[in-house]
A and B are shown apart, each in its own frame.
Chain A
């Protein structure tokens, strides 16, 4: 008799993470130091928060290809508003999050009202967000960002050499919130139900289109928070941000065991998935491997994860 999820699907990502850490620890003695691990966490926080939104969408059997580009646009909007328009930092941040949320709303409306496939919709908004980012920023990095907007990039000491960024704490808190909502509330269960069997869910009287729309809008909110983290981490508004995060976020979700077919997965898996991606990037850098190979490894990882998902589902039937 099988349980709700085969144990491999939930434990697999943890095992993969431990194996990856073990491997890199043997390759470079600096890898396992507190300083380096806290760096990995800081590198992961942007992808990690994007991956929360992405997980929600993938749980409904959708996909969001625009996540990284929307995140970049949010960063440009908040930094330009603050530096050029003189908008107070907090308000500028809210404007940035507003723009990413608007993109989520547009994605969601196109998916639910016009019934377009999420893949195509977000492929379109990916390009639109990228173009607006370049046009609005003139492809120039926005500098002189007020300190208030980079506060989340500051760190506090935890033990001797380990410094933890406030943004990492925020990321962990957001994961805790998403975990609670998905597991313990009716709305969370409805997200799973919609991904599991939209027709059966509709027949029970759950407004499935509203659930879907809410998921895309919420994802937009998470991308906006990721924009702020990205600005905080780099200290600038970067029009070329989000290029690696775009695919890394999807990779993180899939590596974390969430099924691309919808309805199955655990949000904390996406955190583990994001950590796996982060550990690979960090470890390969420490080993002196060129960044092109890191891209290659990410590509291989994502295919491996999807293949595992497909094969384990075949086994479950």
Chain B
């Protein structure tokens, strides 16, 4: 059994259904995220992987089914609702404003204002405090970027993604969702982001990682959720199953009951 198998459930979904006209994207999908784990979500195109993530992050509203966060049923109407509930999402395509500084990007949409008259009446930003907090939070995650005042466009792709991951980790209360965070990156940069994702988990935040990159998934995930035909086909333990068996389940080449029982997590 995986080390996290007995950890409490942070987020779960039961019987999610989502239809787009004739197409059934989710057909009664279940989902479970446990405390302190990196849960990879994999699946072929059209397996319902992105619909599942959209439902969990508030980007779409499922037609049926129930989502619970820390045991309470939630109904997200938008990604902002999810964010307010403590779920932060990192998107594949580097969701940062390039000409703005790292500190500004970290606090974009949740800027800190100065205390008293300057902040309340003149609505002045507390740039100093935001800069200091940026430095503290990025140091916590050991993101090796020297200056928080430099523009994001001066960073490499991997560093930019680290800023996005760092922002999510800094503000998430419950869950961080990462949608293909390494897809646009080279090998070295991808590893840098993987390392950061591990540190986010070690900080105590559970991570949902959507990825097509099997080596990355096997390197970093504690458990793997395999989506297939709009349902959850299986949850497996990457330490006890081969990559080829995992792909076989994902593509339907192998049935779950053909797998050895101990590789299920």
Interface residues of A (CB under 8 A from B): 1-4, 180, 184-187, 189-190, 192-193, 196-197, 199-201, 203-206, 263-264, 316-317
Min CB gap B124→A, angstroms: 5
B248 interface residue, CB < 8 Å from A?
no
Is the Cβ of B108 less than 8 Å from the Cβ of A201?
yes
Closest to B171 in A: A204
B111 interface residue, CB < 8 Å from A?
yes
B2 interface residue, CB < 8 Å from A?
no
**A2-B154, A196-B97 in contact; A206/B108 too (CB < 8 A)?**
yes
A residues within 8 A CB of B80?
205
* Segment at the A interface, from B32-40, B98-106, B211-219, B230-238: B98-106
Is the Cβ of B125 less than 8 Å from the Cβ of A263?
no
Contacts A180-B122, A197-B95, A201-B109 supplied; 15 other A-B pairs, CB < 8 Å: A2-B151, A4-B101, A4-B149, A185-B123, A186-B113, A189-B100, A189-B125, A192-B99, A192-B100, A193-B97, A193-B108, A197-B97, A200-B95, A205-B80, A263-B98
Min CB gap A205→B, angstroms: 4
15 contacts between A and B (CB under 8 A): A2-B151, A3-B150, A3-B151, A4-B101, A4-B150, A186-B111, A186-B125, A192-B97, A193-B97, A200-B95, A200-B96, A201-B108, A203-B79, A203-B95, A204-B108
Closest to B108 in A: A204
B225 interface residue, CB < 8 Å from A?
no
Closest to A206 in B: B109
Is the Cβ of B79 less than 8 Å from the Cβ of A201?
no
Interface membership of chain B positions 194-229, coded 1 if the CB is closer than 8 angstroms to chain A and 0 otherwise = 000000000000000000000000000000000000
Is the Cβ of B154 less than 8 Å from the Cβ of A200?
no
A201 contact from B93, B97, B150, Cβ within 8 A: B97
Interface membership of chain B positions 101-130, coded 1 if the CB is closer than 8 angstroms to chain A and 0 otherwise = 100100011110100000000111101000
**A2-B154, A196-B97 in contact; A189/B108 too (CB < 8 A)?**
yes
Q: Which of B158-211 contact A (CB under 8 A)?
A: none
Min CB gap A241→B, angstroms: 35
B133 interface residue, CB < 8 Å from A?
no
Q: Which of B48-99 contact A (CB under 8 A)?
A: 79-80, 83, 89, 91, 93-99
Min CB gap B82→A, angstroms: 10
Min CB gap A244→B, angstroms: 32
A residues within 8 A CB of B124?
184-185
Is the Cβ of B111 less than 8 Å from the Cβ of A189?
yes
- CA–CA, A18 and B151, complex, Å: 29
Is the Cβ of B99 less than 8 Å from the Cβ of A196?
yes
Min CB gap B5→A, angstroms: 33
Is the Cβ of A1 less than 8 Å from the Cβ of B150?
yes
B153 interface residue, CB < 8 Å from A?
yes
**A1-B154, A2-B151, A186-B123 in contact; A199/B95 too (CB < 8 A)?**
yes
5 pairs of A and B residues whose beta carbons are closest in the complex: A204-B109, A196-B97, A186-B111, A200-B95, A205-B80
Most chain B CB atoms below 10 A, which of A189, A203, A317: A203
Closest to B94 in A: A200
- CA–CA, A199 and B164, complex, Å: 14
- CA–CA, A279 and B187, complex, Å: 55
B residues within 8 A CB of A192?
97, 99-100
Min CB gap B204→A, angstroms: 23
B91 contact from A1, A203, A264, A317, Cβ within 8 A: A203
Closest to B93 in A: A199
Is the Cβ of B109 less than 8 Å from the Cβ of A205?
yes
Min CB gap B186→A, angstroms: 18
Closest to B78 in A: A205
- CA–CA, A193 and B83, complex, Å: 19
B151 contact from A4, A197, A199, A204, Cβ within 8 A: A4
Min CB gap B34→A, angstroms: 27
A residues within 8 A CB of B151?
2-4
- CA–CA, A263 and B124, complex, Å: 20
Min CB gap B210→A, angstroms: 16
Min CB gap A211→B, angstroms: 11
Min CB gap A161→B, angstroms: 38
